Chain A
Amino acid sequence: MRIKRKGIVCSMILILVLLVGGCGGQPDNGSSPGNEAEKQAGSTEKAQITMYISGPEQMIADLEKAFEKERGDVLNILTMGCGPLAQKINTEAEAGNVQADIIWGAEPILYIQLQQKGLLEQYKSAEAANLKSELQMGDGYYTICNSRFGVIAYNKEKVSKEEIPSSWHDLIKENWKNRLAMADAGQSATALAITAGLLEVNGDSWSYIEDLKKNGVLLTKQNNEAIERVSTGEVDATIAPHDGILREIKKSKKSGVESKMALVWPKEGSLSIQRPIAIMADAGRSEAEQSVCQEFIDYVISSEAQTIMAKYGFIPVRADVAIPEGVPSNVKSINLDWQQVASQGKEIRSNFEKIMLAQ
């Protein structure tokens, strides 16, 4: 008995040692970013900046690789959803010790709020001059680095030819009952933006959202979940950003199945949602780090980076980069006044939740 118990203890210790040893052995394989982060802590001459990013991981990896080609490993990237990103940055701000140098990946609303709190650093990139005129916003506190459109996606197998929606208002018709999904404006900032857009389309009236609820719209936590539900046939159509829809279609193709999803650019116009990038105000950055931050902003809006992002479905912010495949050249876009949306954000969310709350 005693010996047996010793056996357990020994094997546990053995496993522990192996695991910890395995972990301790990590610094030997130099490619790990964690290891880089540790090194950086000890040495001052090497600049490394921390970025919180929400976005397609493969695209981020591509950009990181391209950016670091000449500079070496200067980016310490943490990827997360836009929800956790907002939670994390906000909590850090509350604690008065923001850790990120650059944040990239949510809607302008977050940036406007952060700017109001004085947490963003102004940087007017020389490249910004190349941005399309309507995207020149933020006064350098944030820079728009790509944009996307809120559109409709539907499942080709489930939706007959006659039924294919052509406008936002088609979706609130009787025949779409229990066939719709969208992300919850209470959970997702992108969904909040989309909601604001839908209000705009509907002349600032909540009746559209109410009708969606009447049609039994399924809410999801994130936009890509809503897209996924169309792709798997769980619902027949959704309102979501176009880039995610395109990527999902592409992904299906890559894994060898024909996607059942198709995209509609609504008559009234597609909801234009920009994705900004910003440098956090931080006195603690070294000069070298500061310049890496600025270089990265420059890079993201350069034509090289914009071309990479276009491959992932994002609409480039520059006129000199071709729009992605699958996006018509004459998309009618509905633009929002983000300052106004930001100031009404709370109210929009609260109304949305009130309407959606199950009776």
Chain B
Amino acid sequence: MIKHAYWSRLLVIAAVAILSATILYPLLVLILFSVGIGANGISVSITAYQKAFTDPKTLVSIYNTFYVAGAVSILAILTGGGLAWMLTRTDLPGKRLFKGLIFIAYIIPSYVMAVSWIELLGRNGYVNRLLCGTWKWIDKPIDIYNLEGIILVMSIHLFPLVFITMSSAWRMNDLSLEKAARLSGAGPIKTIWTVSLPLILPSVLSIGLLIFQHTMACFGVAAVIALPTGNYILTTRIYSALNHLNLPIATASSIILLLCSGLVFGIYSLSLGKKKYINVSSRSEPPELHGLGKWRIPAALAVLAVLVITTVIPLGTIVVSSFLKQWGMDISLAGLTLNNYQIIFANGGMGLRAIRNSIVFGVAAASAACAIGVAVAWTVNRTAFKGRQLLEFTATWPVAIPGTVLAVAAILAWINPPFKLYGTPWILVITYVAACLPFAVRSVSGSLQGIDLELEHAARISGASRWRVFRDISLPIIGPGLKNGWIMSFLMVLREIPISILLYTAGFETIGVLLFSMRSDTGGLEAVSAVAVIIIAVTLGGNLLLERFGKSRMEGI
């Protein structure tokens, strides 16, 4: 590589500084506290770790966690990847509708999604009422309160993420490679299996890892679906320890979670090896679509069926519930009301304020995370600094940490002067940024790796400085990836609950706080559904607005 130019050194310093402040410093403080080095004096002890590691419940939780995360990753990849292929590579009809539905599935907060599935498949859920009661098709109600229930809900919640990532991977794929395989005598299925899939394997593994780690660290869904029947996962234990003032045990359990997550990361890195061969070159053609022939309509119906089950039905349930006088009641005209929306907006103006705050925080955190993501991805992929891989590793770390633990770490880190941010909205933004970074970095890094280096070289030759190359060439080309990362981050902030509740200050309530306060007995689940409907409406509205103003050529979602 060329010797580090002044500004690239600056960039690296900035990236290191920001990552240290948002991620490393709080986690370090947390770990120090957990072994007894904190504000209340130093009394080093690792008994918490011994306890956490030897508790037999931990083992069961680890097993459950791996089972759930593994199954969710596989299911989400199969569904999201399959849909991505159908929607980018074939002449399936109704693509716009399908894409819209998938996007909506991604907007629905996982917690609300879980609740709506309980409304459907719970012991007294609508579906069970129909199947067991009205139609008498089955004797025993379908049971959702188990690990498979989490798997169902989390897969539905996360498959859109796979869809978004893999759509761009499929799009980048050079079609001539597939044609070559066909000419070499491979049938269409064999071509996909032997050429197309291996080509996008790096993206698949990368997004699979993200989903695995994200699922491991999730709690909200587990709390309503698996906790009821005593199916504990690691995060259940972390929450339990935190609720009972046992910070060391909570931290130790988080460390176990991190180790598990690190293990998966290790396997991922090994299995990836040197397989980094996606290339956007100047010759990327507009993708040519596979004709489905007589399968066109059946395929569309199948896709529709999948999306109806995963998106339309839960969405419909949420929307209907938001107008019900009481959540889960029999649906009839007499049972409808606008009251739930009134409650949200009455609530001392908190509802509106929360929505506005969340949007502001979301825009700020997503933009910051994307900017840092670009700096990190650039450093890792385009410079020769020693230890640059560590940067990406650090930046993607928070995905494996439950929101509550991030929030607790943030409190510990930012409560005492001179770094007193606790009690100001800044601590929220910083912690959101930490939570968003993994998504931003992964998306940007993925698309940056995909750029043919020659495109950047050509610009340097044309007289552009490194900065201009970045601005004029790399940035626009990674634009779609960046946009995906931004949207993922933004939605993440919009739906986030635990960080919000622990870190908000009066006047800076967020949607998470609103969801929570509706959840506690002011509004009930019907008001929670109304909040979800508002989130969906705001996001869709914003997206439409953006699309109206600029439909970029190299489209993202």
Asked whether any CB of A lies within 8 Å of a CB of B in the complex, the reply is: yes
Residues of chain A at the chain B interface (Cβ within 8 Å): 1, 4-5, 7-8, 10-12, 15-16, 19-20, 22-23, 26, 31-38, 56-58, 61, 76-81, 83-84, 86-88, 90-92, 94-97, 99, 110, 113, 178, 181, 184, 186-189, 192, 213, 216, 218-222, 224-225, 228, 231-235, 244, 247-248, 251-252, 255-257, 345-346, 349, 353-354, 356-358
State whether B502 touches A228 (Cβ < 8 A).
Answer: no
Q: Give A57's nearest chain B residue, CB to CB.
A: B522
A247 to B522 alpha-carbon distance, docked (Å) = 9
Do B516 and A81 touch (CB < 8 A)?
yes
- CA separation between A352 and B528, bound complex, in Å? 30
The answer to whether B517 has its CB under 8 Å from any CB of chain A is: yes
- Interchain nearest-CB distance for B55 vs A (Å): 9
Let me know if B550 and A4 touch, CB within 8 A. Answer: yes
B507 at the interface (CB under 8 A from A): yes
B274 within 8 A of A: no
Task: State whether A357 and B122 are in contact (beta carbons under 8 Å apart), knowing that A5-B550, A83-B243, A257-B326 are contacts in the complex.
Answer: no
Q: A32: shortest Cβ distance to chain B, in Å?
A: 5
Q: Which residue of B has the minimal Cβ distance to A56?
A: B521
CA distance A10 to B551 in the complex (A): 13
| CB contact under 8 A between A256 and B337, given known A220-B228, A357-B57 | yes
5 tightest A-B CB contacts, nearest first: A34-B507, A96-B39, A8-B550, A232-B328, A186-B240
B421 within 8 A of A: no
**Chain A neighbourhood of B327, CB < 8 A:** 228, 232
Distance (whole angstroms) from the CB of B145 to the closest CB of chain A: 7
CB distance from B495 to the nearest CB of A (A): 17
Q: Judging by beta carbons under 8 Å apart, are B549 and A87 in contact? A: no
Q: How far is the CA of A12 from the CA of B364 in the complex (A)?
A: 12
| Cα–Cα, bound, A7→B522 (Å) | 43
Inter-chain contact A257/B335, CB cutoff 8 Å: yes
Quote the shortest CB–CB distance from A46 to chain B (angstroms). 15
B545 contacts partner chain A, Cβ-Cβ < 8 Å = yes
A1 near B224: Cβ-Cβ < 8 Å: no
Q: Within residues 506 to 520 of chain B, which ones have a CB less than 8 A from any CB in chain A? A: 506-508, 516-517, 520
Q: Tell me if B40 and A84 are in contact (CB < 8 A).
A: no
A81: B residues at CB distance < 8 A: 501, 516, 520
**B504 interface residue, CB < 8 Å from A?**
yes
Give 21 CB contacts A-B under 8 Å. Answer: A11-B545, A11-B549, A11-B550, A15-B363, A19-B360, A31-B349, A34-B506, A34-B508, A58-B522, A80-B502, A87-B243, A90-B245, A90-B247, A92-B411, A95-B38, A110-B245, A187-B236, A224-B520, A252-B325, A353-B57, A356-B230
CB pair A358–B525 under 8 Å, yes or no, is no
Residue of A nearest to B125 (CB): A234
A110 to B243, CA, bound (A): 10
Q: Given that A90-B245, A92-B415 are contacting pairs, would A99 and B337 also be in contact in the complex, using a CB cutoff of 8 Å?
A: no
A7 to B550, CA, bound (A): 6
Please name the residue on chain A nearest to B245 by beta carbon. Answer: A90
Structural contact, A19 and B356, CB atoms closer than 8 A: yes
Q: Interface size bucket, B side?
A: 35 or more
Question: Contacts A57-B517, A61-B348, A257-B325: A94 and B39 contacting too (C-beta < 8 A)?
Answer: yes
Chain B residues near A (Cβ < 8 Å): 33, 38-40, 57, 60, 118, 122-125, 145, 223-224, 227-232, 236, 239-240, 242-247, 325-329, 335, 337, 339, 347-349, 353, 356-357, 359-360, 363, 404, 408, 411-412, 415-416, 422-423, 476, 479, 498, 501-502, 504-508, 516-517, 520-522, 524-525, 542, 545-546, 549-553
Asked if B411 and A231 sit within 8 Å, CB to CB, the answer is: no
With a cutoff of 8 Å between Cβ atoms, the chain B residues found around residue A15 in the complex are 363, 542, 545
CB distance from B297 to the nearest CB of A (A): 35
A87 adjacent to B521 (CB under 8 Å): no
Asked if B227 contacts A220 (CB within 8 A), the reply is yes
Task: Kindly state the separation between the CA atoms of A252 and B521 in the bound complex, as whole angstroms.
Answer: 11
Cβ of A113 and Cβ of B549 under 8 Å apart? no
B41 and chain A: residue at smallest CB distance = A96
Closest chain B residue to A243, Cβ basis:
B521
Q: Which residue of A lies closest to B343 (CB)?
A: A255
Contact in complex: A187, B522 (CB < 8 Å): no
A235 touches B123 (CB 8 A): yes
B residues less than 8 Å from A33 (CB atoms): 506-507
Determine the distance from Cα of A222 to Cα of B228 in the docked complex, in whole angstroms: 11
- Complex CA–CA separation, A349 to B245 (angstroms): 12
Can you add 16 more A-B contacts, CB < 8 Å, to A32-B353, A96-B416? A5-B550, A11-B545, A15-B542, A23-B360, A33-B507, A34-B508, A81-B516, A83-B239, A84-B498, A187-B239, A222-B520, A224-B520, A233-B124, A252-B325, A255-B326, A257-B335
Chain B nearest CB: distance from A233 CB in Å?
A: 4
Which A-chain residue is minimally distant from B219 (CB atoms)? A221
CB contact between A354 and one of B57, B339, B411, B504 (< 8 Å): that residue: B57
A213 and B231 CA atoms in complex are apart in Å by 13
**A91 to B408, Cβ gap below 8 A?**
yes
Q: Is the CB of B247 within 8 A of A94?
A: yes
For the complex, give the distance between the alpha carbons of A333 and B118 in Å. Answer: 35
B229 with A218: CB separation less than 8 A? yes
Chain A residues whose C-beta falls within 8 Å of the C-beta of B416 in the assembled complex: 95-97
When distances are taken between beta carbons in the complex, the residues of chain B under 8 Å from A57 are: 347, 517, 520-522
> Contacting A88 at CB < 8 Å: which of B223, B326, B502, B525?
B502
A34 touches B521 (CB 8 A): no
Q: Cβ of A86 and Cβ of B245 under 8 Å apart? A: yes
> Which residue in B122, B360, B404, B423 is a CB contact (below 8 Å) of A234?
B122
Given A19-B363, A186-B236, residue A80 in contact with residue B516 (CB < 8 A): yes
CB proximity of B475 to chain A, nearest CB, Å: 10
A247 and B521 contact, CB distance less than 8 A: yes
Q: Which chain B positions have C-beta within 8 A of A358?
A: 229-232
B-chain residues with CB within 8 Å of residue A8 when the two chains form the complex: 546, 549-550, 552
With both chains docked as a complex, state the minimum distance between the C-beta of A180 and any C-beta of chain B, in angstroms: 11
B475's nearest neighbour on chain A, judged by CB, is A5
- In the complex, what distance in Å separates the CA atom of A247 from the CA atom of B363? 38
Question: Taking each of B118, B242, B246, B525, which has the highest tally of chain A beta carbons within 10 Å of its own beta carbon?
Answer: B242
Q: How far is the CA of A199 from the CA of B412 in the complex (A)?
A: 36
Q: A11-B550, A356-B230 are in contact. Are A23 and B57 (CB under 8 A)?
A: no
Q: Nearest Cβ distance between residue B348 and chain A, in whole angstroms?
A: 7
Determine if A248 and B521 form an interchain contact, defined as CB atoms under 8 angstroms apart: yes
Q: Which residues in B have their C-beta under 8 angstroms from that of A76?
A: 506
In the docked arrangement, what's the CA distance between A56 and B523, Å? Answer: 11
Residues of chain A lying within 8 A (CB to CB) of residue B232: 353, 357-358
Check B326–A219 contact: CB distance below 8 A.
no
Q: Are A224 and B521 in contact (CB under 8 A)?
A: yes
A184 to B232, CA, bound (A): 11
A34 vs B39: C-alpha distance when bound (angstroms): 28
What distance in Å separates the Cβ of B235 from its nearest Cβ neighbour in chain A? 11
Q: Which residue of B is nearest A178, CB measured? A: B123
- Whether B517 pairs with A23 at a CB distance below 8 angstroms is no
In the complex, residue of chain B having the shortest beta-carbon distance to the beta carbon of A29? B349
Q: A19-B360, A224-B521, A256-B325 are in contact. Are A346 and B502 (CB under 8 A)?
A: no
Alpha-carbon gap, A102 to B199, bound state (A): 60
In the bound complex, how far is the Cα of B514 from the Cα of A57, in angstroms?
A: 12
**Identity of the chain A residue whose Cβ is nearest the Cβ of B325 in the assembled complex:** A255
Q: For residue A66, give the distance in angstroms from its CB to the closest CB of chain B.
A: 15
Nearest to A77 among chain B residues (CB) is: B506
Instruction: Looking at the assembled complex, report how far the CB atom of A257 sits from the nearest CB atom of chain B, in whole angstroms.
Output: 5
Whether B328 lies near A257 (C-beta < 8 A) is no
Q: Are B57 and A94 in contact (CB under 8 A)?
A: no
Give the complex CA separation of A19 and B542 in angstroms.
12
- Contact assessment for A234 and B328 in the assembled complex, using a CB-CB cutoff below 8 Å: yes
